Structure 1
Amino acid sequence: MSSMGKKNLEKQNRTGFLLFLFCTSFLGLMVGMLGSVKWGQAYVPWGTLWEALTYQGHDKEHLYIQTLRLPRTITACLVGIQLALAGLLTQLTTKNPLASPHVFGINAGAALAVVFGLVVIKNVSLANSVWLAMIGAALGALLVGSLAGTGPKQYVRLALAGITIHFLLSSLTEGLIILNQHTTESMMFWLVGSVSQAAWTEVRMLLPFFAGGLLVFGFMLPSFRLLVMDDEIAAGLGQRVTVVRAISMLLVIVLAGSAVALCGPIGFICLIVPHIARALVGTNLNVLVPLTGLLGGNLLVYADLLGRFIAFPYDSPVGIVTAAIGAPFFIYLARKQGGTGKR
């Protein structure tokens, strides 16, 4: 077989694999969402589930599905997609495979701002909580960036500064909660990361940030390819790397901040999902970005479903499940990077 024929065969095999991968991921997400709507504390027959999803009935069981389980499932899907894409963009921007909004203090800053608003301002609306979370996320990112500085060791310092600021802001958040238990008692479940309280109000609040974030991501995708290159090469091609990096971090703040405001600082999705997607399809952003989003939605939907059965009939915060999955994966990545001498 000629070299041209081998290349065509490899291309066909690659296309077939990608088609299978995306179809499987999408089907898995649909099955997970269906299971999330059906299974939980209360038993729901398939017939009742169909009637509820098609709005053919309005009795107690139908309303339970329509007002509790369905918005919870949709929220888990949207938040999973947002966090996974925020993690991918953070890793591209910082050129650090161990980077994520959670590790770099962005999620911790958002959580601190929401708790601070609850303690100081009190009676904070959901919309104001979202804006507070974004302000906190931005301040956390700026603090980490200012500590890291510039220079050849910047990416190493970013990781060290990010972890330090994450623990500092998390400690301040926990301190506020302990000192104001009468006000923040209900925040403990949220602080671990949970979608169990999500309703249609949360879905409507999240959708503009979700849709706007995806539109900006798609529009900026050609520019985000510069983040894969070395800064010197991109600058030599006449590209405005600093502007692209600033836009990417702003997008991370919007995606991660809005998710944290509604569901708490859910950990490790931002970190592990981009690595799984990259291992499957490589670094081509045209394929990597949509697959990362799909896998993020899958992971959080299934983690939320699993969390319902850990201490059945009580719900466990989804953050516990993602941490149980993500912590060993993080250790593996850290050892792998250290063993290969990569930064």
Structure 2
Amino acid sequence: MKPITEKQSQKWPLLFLFSAAVLVMLIGVICNLKWGQAYISWRTLFEAVTYQGSDKAHLYIQTLRLPRAIMACIVGMQLALAGMLTQITTKNPLASPHIFGINAGAALAVVIGLVALPHFGNFGLIGFAFVGAALSALLIWSLAGGGRQQYVRLALAGITIHFLMSSLTEGFIIMNQHATDSMIFWLVGSLNLAGWSDVQIILPFFIGGMVLFTLMLPAFKLLLLDDDIAAGLGQRVNIVRGVSMVLVLILAGSAVALCGPIGFICLLVPHIARAMIGPNLPILGPMTALLGGILLVYADFLSRFIAFPFESPVGIVTAVIGAPYFIYLARKQGGAK
């Protein structure tokens, strides 16, 4: 009876944390709907959200602010989960799709697609993003090779590919300024132009990614073990690692294609979630997703006031928050023995 009582006592703090996270996210969504360039009263906000009005103010919330807030939640969740899976797969606490060059490869492919096929739809851009992200991932894994030093070489190869892809993207923009002037906000990471069409496009990738993550959750636990131990248990670690990276490409690639390479959420959020609830993967995954949505919702809200009344890319806010934390993590890991 004692173990059962202890398990029941552990559920209440977790339930409180998840409930608090959901509440904080809802408050962030309300803040995004209420405050911005245009003044919105509480009554107008309620009428707009419940679709009880159709004047200019109601349409402004329904067609601009509401899909943007929902998009921030979805993209934040996807990027945070992608970062957690990258760290688990590569066994590197400083890994993320952004730092490892996956986001940069997706961004380069999208920029090429926008210049070469300017009338391509968002589904086509997501396809370009997947190709670019996949090519970057394959290049990184091929450069890393195998052996005991594989994970160290993965980090070095990832950073190298990140700078290579970013440089190629910048050079491509310079050579095609007439077609890429509107991409500046997107390249920093922006939700300014998010609409219901973007929500409809990313929703299948979000739902599919969550379903795949849930189905593969028992197998993903193997990635927390040493490779030799997992192989000794008869598990196909390479297949599980491959599925994990495919899921990273789905989550990060679709987010980058629609909102640009928003940095540091992939790196920052998994560490915060792990510090709050520990390494238990079935609990860590949902909490990481919730915290990712929270961070991007509030970052998008703050981005509206940096240069008010003009809006700034949300990537500026995430970089300001994430860069100092990355330095802290690097020093902490470097000093660990």
Q: Same-fold call, TM > 0.5?
A: yes
Question: Equivalent residue for 2:326?
Answer: 330
Question: Equivalent residue for 2:300?
Answer: 304
Equivalents in 1 of 2:177, 2:119: separation in Å?
15
123, 139, 164: which is aligned to 2:135? Answer: 139
- Give the letter for the 1:194 counterpart: S
290, 314, 317: which is aligned to 1:318? Answer: 314
Q: Which secondary structure state, in structure 1, belongs to the residue aligned with residue 296 of structure 2?
A: helix
Equivalents in 2 of 1:203, 1:170: separation in Å?
27
- Give the letter for the 1:47 counterpart: R
Question: Equivalent residue for 1:119?
Answer: 115
Is 1:261 equivalent to 2:261 in the alignment?
no
Equivalents in 2 of 1:78, 1:262: separation in Å?
12
Question: Equivalent residue for 2:44?
Answer: 48
CA displacement at 1:10 relative to structure 2? 4.9
CA displacement at 1:213 relative to structure 2? 0.2
CA displacement at 1:178 relative to structure 2? 1.2
Is 1:93 equivalent to 2:89 in the alignment?
yes
Gaps of 5+ in 1: none
CA RMSD, Structure 1 to Structure 2 (Å): 1.1
Equivalents in 1 of 2:201, 2:312: separation in Å?
24
Give a deviation string over 1:41-84, Cα, whole Å, max 9, x none.
00100000111111111110011000000010000000000000
- Give the letter for the 1:129 counterpart: L
Question: Equivalent residue for 1:198?
Answer: 194
13, 18, 27: which is aligned to 1:17? Answer: 13
Equivalents in 1 of 2:333, 2:5: separation in Å?
34
- Give the letter for the 2:215 counterpart: F
Q: Which secondary structure state, in structure 2, belongs to the residue aligned with residue 135 of structure 1?
A: helix
Equivalents in 1 of 2:308, 2:259: separation in Å?
21
Gaps of 5+ in 2: none
Question: Equivalent residue for 1:248?
Answer: 244
- Give the letter for the 2:201 counterpart: M
Superposed structure 1 runs of 4+ greater than 6 Å apart = none
TM-score normalised per structure 1: 0.96
- Give the letter for the 2:77 counterpart: I
Question: Equivalent residue for 2:54?
Answer: 58
CA displacement at 1:11 relative to structure 2? 3.7
Question: Equivalent residue for 2:268?
Answer: 272
23, 27, 31: which is aligned to 1:31? Answer: 27
Question: Equivalent residue for 1:230?
Answer: 226
Give a deviation string over 1:65-115, Cα, whole Å, max 9, x none.
000000100000000000000000001100000000001110000000000
Q: How many residues align?
A: 337
Q: Which secondary structure state, in structure 2, belongs to the residue aligned with residue 194 of structure 1?
A: coil
